[in-house]
Amino acid sequence: MVPVPNVTRADAAAAARNPLAFIAERWTPTSRTVQRAALSALVMSVVIVVTGGAVRLTGSGLGCPTWPKCTADSLTTTSAMGFHGVIEFGNRMLTYVLCAAVGWAIIAARSEKPWRRSLTRLGWAQFWVVMGNAILGGIVVLVGLNPYTVAAHFLLSTALIAVATVMWQRTREGDTAPRPLVGRSVQQLVWFLVAASVLLIAVGTVVTGAGPHAGDSSEVDRMPLDWETVAKLHAVLAWIVVTLTFALWFVLKAVDAPRGPLHRTRELFLVLLAQGVIGYVQYFTDLPELLVGLHMLGSAVIWIAVLRVLLSLHERPLAEAGVPGPVQSGSTVGAGI
């Protein structure tokens, strides 16, 4: 039988003053544990986007017509709310799962030895983005699914994915100054790719705001735009991103770049092609809910893939930072991801 350690008043006071430091003094996670914690936060940030899309696509956006309660008299959904109440309230509950995943990432990063303050800050950045988006989600409900607030809600979720991706990558690196693996012209091309991807996602939210899936069965205001015209603009931007990705791959091959950037660029190209097929099929089949949901998942995956291309252009070797864990093979950071 394992003896239970005695907890003194001093320990309790220390835990109350700084619980993270208290845990860090008594637990040292492996580097793999820290990586898994960061990955869990990233996975949940994608899950919350997909389930949020399910709320909209099932017309459950006002399944809980108020916030923070589900109804004026109940904190949770009631039988009178039916299927839509279950869907909306379930998505709200997943926010707590997301918070737990982010909390685990923060605790793991704070407890790692040696302590890497940069990782902890990235974890806390995710926490505050989640809190801000939870409040914005409540505003979305209170204003009756105003399409502009819905778009802002999605874009803030995209920002959360970005921070989570960076933290996941940084768990596999050291804290030394980044060393470039490619020249400045290639880096500039990648930044053009990132900018085009941001614009692609932003225009996608406009397609959503003007399109037929308003998020609720009642009359919901839409953006005063022709959604088919905006959808065509969205498709043009998608082709620009695909072209930039292909050009980047060609340039990386021409300059004999390391494997990391090449592999990340190839992965992005394949994801873009799959997303393009889904996008055109959903457009010509009158936007079936399942395909729209897959397209939202694809949007999150593409954003992660773009960020991984950007992050693969530099390396921070683990050994130089004194961070526990295996040294990356080859000359690229991204090769082992």
The whole-model pTM stands at: 0.87
Least confident of 91-100, 195-204, 214-223: 214-223
- The answer to whether 159 and 129 are in contact (CB under 8 A) is yes
In the 8-state DSSP scheme, what is residue 216?
A: B
Of the listed ranges 70-79, 147-156, 177-186, 260-269, the one predicted with least confidence: 70-79
Rounded to an integer, the average pLDDT of 53-57 is 87
Q: Are residues 160 and 303 in the same domain?
A: no
Please state, rounded to an integer, the average pLDDT across all residues of the chain: 86
| 143 and 241 part of one domain | no
At 185, phi and psi to the nearest 5? -65, -40
Positive/negative CA dihedral, 130, 54, 219, 83: negative
Domain assignment present for 188: yes
Instruction: Report, as an integer, the average pLDDT of 56-67.
Output: 86
b (16+ CB within 10 A) / e for 82-99: eebbebbbebbebbeebb
Residues 187 and 308 in one domain: yes
What are the pLDDT digits (tens) for 293-334? 899 999 999 999 999 999 999 998 875 444 444 433 333 333
| H-run or E-run covering 315 | strand 314-315
Q: Are residues 50 and 93 in the same domain?
A: yes
Of 171, 198, 220, the one marking the end of a domain is: 171
Asked whether residue 86 is domain-assigned, the answer is: yes
* Range among 81-85, 230-234, 286-290 rated most confident: 230-234
Alpha carbon distance 157, 300 (integer Å): 9
- The answer to whether residues 165 and 313 belong to one domain is no
Residue 93 belongs to some domain of the structure: yes
The domain boundary residue, chosen from 116, 150, 171? 171
Distance CA 136, CA 301 (A): 23
Grade residue 8 by pLDDT with cuts at 50, 70 and 90.
low
Q: Could you list the residue range(s) of the whole structural domain that residue 251 is in?
A: 177-337
196 and 151 in one domain? no
| Residue 52 belongs to some domain of the structure | yes
Helix (H) or strand (E) holding 180: strand 179-180
The answer to whether position 23 is within a domain reads no
| Domain tally, the chain | 2
Domain boundary among 148, 171, 194: 171
Task: Report the distance separating Cα 266 and Cα 295, nearest Å.
Answer: 20
Alpha-carbon span 280 to 292, nearest angstrom: 11
d(CA 92, CA 269): 34
Asked if residue 65 belongs to a domain, the reply is yes
Q: Is the pLDDT of residue 4 over 80?
A: no
Scanning the structure block, which residue is given the tokens 């694809």? 298
pLDDT bin (cut points 50, 70, 90) of residue 2 is: very low
Q: Is residue 57 within 8 Å of 307, Cβ to Cβ?
A: no
The confidence score (pLDDT) of residue 165 equals: 97
Q: What is the mean pLDDT of residues 101-127?
A: 94
**Residue bearing the bigger pLDDT, 175 or 191:** 191
